[in-house]
């Protein structure tokens, strides 16, 4: 890479500090990879109450900083954690906003009503951090609606700032289903310019749409897979934003997420009972045994086991699975190990299957990273029947764990899984197209019959899947190209 940049990465969650989904995985791995490639990366995120304090131990004392939200001045503390020479995390400590039980909602899954204020504050604090530290920034990289406001602040209030004035803005959309839509009342606190409350920017049917504003101010916008980028240009998938994305023309692209194989590889995974690799797969059998044991499933290697780990949200296709899973276990010799949390109705339904089908369906409601790894390792198949999926990470993890994905061919699922070809045994998984419970039933049936009747094809696909590599280096190179283009646009 000839050009190295100073990148301000503003994000609402990042591993290992705070995680609710794939955004945190990306925000942990991409900055790390960019820093390795020679860039200076500053990651700014909230100092949540839930971050294990031992992870934050730092030699540097926190410093205080003022942040102007419109004409209102707020004060916060900033904690610094230097990860490597050119990668530092900055945690914005504003207890009023970030010392709560959840990141975005309370235990009853109710979104905090002041979310727009909380995350606009984070976004503006990131700007003030650069001024306070006197760091000249090349790229401000925002993620999803939470930090999309950073790009509005960058291009308006800080346009003449010596540290931010030349920076280009890049917005990554991880999920267009969440746009940060709020009533107009919060607009004045957020400190955007009055003239920006119009349809091309923040206004949305009389309310505010934070993601839409970010799209307007960004020099480059991307989403997390090429197929999802195309899908979101159509009304059926854009949640109302296709017109605004189309207007970006070639400033809107898809960049597939990578995988942090230092975390997700059965050859080195410390969270699974036995390590294994494509060359020596014996350990996978032990992982399966222990998983069956943990979930109270019949401990037999000959029965295929299908894993699932995800947020229980309508996006992930749980309702379709709910309509087919009982018929599946009644008619096929197969088991399920399911981990997830979210929608209460779904949690209750899936939890009830535990009692109803002992030995066949194991369900744990909750968030458990170690168990997520153990399900990847111990399952034979991994199911993701998503209605839409911007990228999806678990199916990519599954490939490396030799756990064949069964996925709906949408977004990143379509881009990362290759369909099984019965005539040759090629492919890395099983894909279906219709968003119906029938399609799930048939495709699980296809996978299960392949397991029983064509083991040699199952093994061939497993070997092919484990060889696939979705490294962050390749994706980071695409981000570098997007940064370069964003700077060209900024200068033009
Ligand atoms: P999304 O970001 O839409 O939730 P992804 O597939 O991109 O979907 O990423 C989900 C990430 O969150 C994966 O790393 C997955 O293992 C993890 N995850 C989701 N639900 C759980 C859970 N209940 N327990 C542990 N990890 C989970
Ligand atoms: C979102 C998407 C998921 C994607 C993740 C990381 O949460 O739902 O598909 O993998 O972001 O980009």
- What are 83-107's pLDDT values in tens digits? 999 999 999 999 999 999 999 999 8
* Residue 255, number of CB atoms within 10 A of its CB: 22
Å from CA of 194 to ligand 2 middle = 32
Atom of ligand 2 nearest to the CA of 412: 9
Question: Residue 49: phi, psi to the nearest 5?
Answer: -60, -30
Å from CA of 299 to ligand 2 middle = 33
Does ligand 2 come within 6 angstroms of the Cβ of 173?
Answer: no
Q: What is the pLDDT of residue 410?
A: 98
Q: What is the pLDDT of residue 143?
A: 98
- Supply 327's token pair: 């018929």
Å from CA of 7 to ligand 1 middle = 26
* Residue 250, number of CB atoms within 10 A of its CB: 8
DSSP-assigned beta bridge partners for residue 383: 406
Residues of the chain with pLDDT > 70, as a percent, come to 100
Residue 370 per-residue DSSP state: H
Please say whether the beta carbons of 334 and 444 come within 8 A.
Answer: yes
Alpha-carbon distance 452 to 307, whole Å?
A: 18
436 HSE (CA, 13 A, CB side): 5
Average pLDDT, the chain: 97
Ligand closest to the CA atom of residue 338:
1
pLDDT confidence bin for 70, thresholds 50/70/90: confident
Does ligand 2 come within 6 angstroms of the Cβ of 241?
Answer: no
Q: What is the pLDDT of residue 1?
A: 52
**Which amino acid residue places its CA nearest to atom 17 of ligand 1?**
21
Can 6-258+472-491 and 283-467 be said to share one CATH topology? yes
Å from CA of 392 to ligand 2 middle = 5
Please say whether the beta carbons of 242 and 248 come within 8 A.
Answer: no
In this prediction, residues 459-485 reach a mean pLDDT of 97
Alpha-carbon distance 143 to 58, whole Å?
A: 26
Q: What is the pLDDT of residue 163?
A: 98
Alpha-carbon distance 443 to 381, whole Å?
A: 12
pLDDT, one tens digit per residue, over 103-141 is 999 988 899 999 999 999 999 999 999 999 999 999 999
Residue from 26, 392, 394 to probe ligand 2 pocket by mutation (most atoms less than 8 Å from CB): 392
User: Is beta strand 87-93 parallel, antiparallel or unpaired with respect to 72-84?
Assistant: antiparallel
Atom of ligand 2 nearest to the CA of 228: 9
Atom of ligand 2 nearest to the CA of 257: 12
Ligand closest to the CA atom of residue 257:
2
In this prediction, residues 388-411 reach a mean pLDDT of 98
CATH number belonging to domain 6-258+472-491: 3.40.50.2000
DSSP-assigned beta bridge partners for residue 438: none
In this prediction, residues 385-391 reach a mean pLDDT of 98
CA-closest candidate to residue 258, choices 36, 10, 18: 36
Q: Domain map of the chain by residue range?
A: 6-258+472-491, 283-467
Q: What is the pLDDT of residue 384?
A: 98
**Which amino acid residue places its CA nearest to atom 18 of ligand 1?**
310
pLDDT confidence bin for 402, thresholds 50/70/90: very high
Does ligand 2 come within 6 angstroms of the Cβ of 21?
Answer: yes
> Position of tokens 């699975």?
321
Strands (E), 168-251: 168-173, 181-182, 203-204, 207-209, 220-223
Residue from 147, 175, 257 to probe ligand 2 pocket by mutation (most atoms less than 8 Å from CB): 175
CA-closest candidate to residue 151, choices 232, 90, 211: 211
pLDDT confidence bin for 57, thresholds 50/70/90: confident
Alpha-carbon distance 154 to 113, whole Å?
A: 25
Q: What is the pLDDT of residue 186?
A: 87
Q: What is the pLDDT of residue 2?
A: 67
Does ligand 2 come within 6 angstroms of the Cβ of 224?
Answer: yes
Q: What is the pLDDT of residue 3?
A: 87
Å from CA of 10 to ligand 1 middle = 20
Lowest mean pLDDT among 182-186, 363-367, 371-375: 182-186
Does ligand 2 come within 6 angstroms of the Cβ of 27?
Answer: no
Å from CA of 37 to ligand 2 middle = 24
Whether the upstream peptide bond of residue 242 has omega within 30° of 0, thus cis, is no
> Position of tokens 């004045």?
188
Q: What is the pLDDT of residue 287?
A: 98
Å from CA of 477 to ligand 1 middle = 25
Q: What is the pLDDT of residue 109?
A: 86
Atom of ligand 1 nearest to the CA of 26: 7
Residue from 23, 228, 237, 397 to probe ligand 2 pocket by mutation (most atoms less than 8 Å from CB): 23
Question: Residue 404: phi, psi to the nearest 5?
Answer: -70, 125
The CATH class given to the 283-467 domain equals alpha beta
Å from CA of 458 to ligand 2 middle = 28
- Supply 121's token pair: 């504050």
pLDDT confidence bin for 258, thresholds 50/70/90: very high
């Amino acid at each position: 890479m000839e050009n190295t940049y100073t990148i301000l990465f503003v994000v609402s969650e990042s591993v290992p500090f705070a995680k609710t989904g794939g955004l945190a995985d990306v925000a942990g791995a991409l900055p790390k990879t960019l820093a390795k490639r020679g860039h200076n990366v500053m990651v700014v995120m909230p100092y949540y109450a839930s971050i294990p304090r031992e992870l934050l131990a730092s030699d540097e004392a926190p410093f205080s900083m003022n942040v102007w939200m419109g004409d209102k001045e707020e004060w916060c503390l900033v904690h610094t954690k230097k990860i490597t020479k050119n990668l530092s995390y900055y945690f914005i400590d504003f207890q009023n906003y970030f010392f709560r039980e959840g990141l975005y909602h309370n235990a009853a899954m109710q979104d905090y009503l002041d979310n727009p204020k909380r995350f606009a504050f984070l976004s503006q604090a990131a700007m003030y951090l650069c001024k306070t530290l006197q760091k000249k920034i090349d790229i401000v990289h925002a993620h999803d609606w939470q930090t999309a406001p950073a790009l509005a602040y960058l291009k308006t209030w800080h346009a003449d700032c010596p540290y931010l004035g030349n920076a280009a803005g890049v917005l990554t959309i991880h999920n267009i289903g969440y746009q940060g839509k709020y009533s107009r009342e919060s607009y004045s606190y957020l400190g955007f310019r009055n003239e920006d409350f119009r349809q091309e920017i923040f206004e949305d049917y009389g309310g505010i749409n934070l993601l839409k504003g970010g799209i307007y101010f960004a020099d480059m916008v991307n989403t997390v897979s090429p197929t999802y980028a195309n899908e979101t240009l159509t009304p059926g998938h854009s949640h109302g934003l296709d017109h605004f994305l189309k207007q970006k023309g070639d400033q809107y692209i898809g960049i597939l997420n990578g995988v942090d194989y230092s975390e997700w590889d059965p050859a080195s995974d410390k969270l699974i009972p036995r390590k294994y690799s494509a060359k020596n797969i014996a350990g996978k059998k032990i992982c399966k045994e222990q998983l069956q044991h943990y979930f109270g499933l019949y401990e037999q290697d000959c029965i295929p086991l299908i894993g699932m780990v995800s947020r229980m949200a309508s996006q992930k296709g749980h309702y379709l699975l709910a309509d087919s899973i009982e018929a599946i276990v009644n008619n096929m010799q197969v088991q399920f190990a399911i981990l997830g949390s979210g929608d209460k109705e779904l949690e209750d339904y899936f939890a009830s299957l535990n009692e109803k089908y002992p030995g066949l369906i194991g369900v744990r409601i909750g968030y458990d990273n170690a168990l997520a790894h153990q399900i990847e390792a111990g399952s034979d198949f991994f199911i993701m029947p998503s209605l839409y999926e911007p990228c999806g990470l678990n199916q990519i993890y599954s490939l490396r764990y030799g756990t064949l994905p069964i996925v709906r061919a949408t977004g990143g699922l379509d881009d990362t899984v290759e369909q099984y070809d019965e005539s040759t045994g090629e492919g890395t998984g099983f894909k279906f197209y219709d968003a119906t419970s029938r399609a799930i039933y048939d495709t699980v049936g296809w996978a299960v019959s392949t397991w029983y009747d064509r083991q040699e094809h199952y093994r061939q696909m497993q070997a092919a899947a484990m060889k696939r590599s979705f490294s962050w280096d390749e994706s980071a190179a695409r981000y570098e190209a997007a940064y370069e283009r964003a700077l060209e646009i900024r200068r033009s």
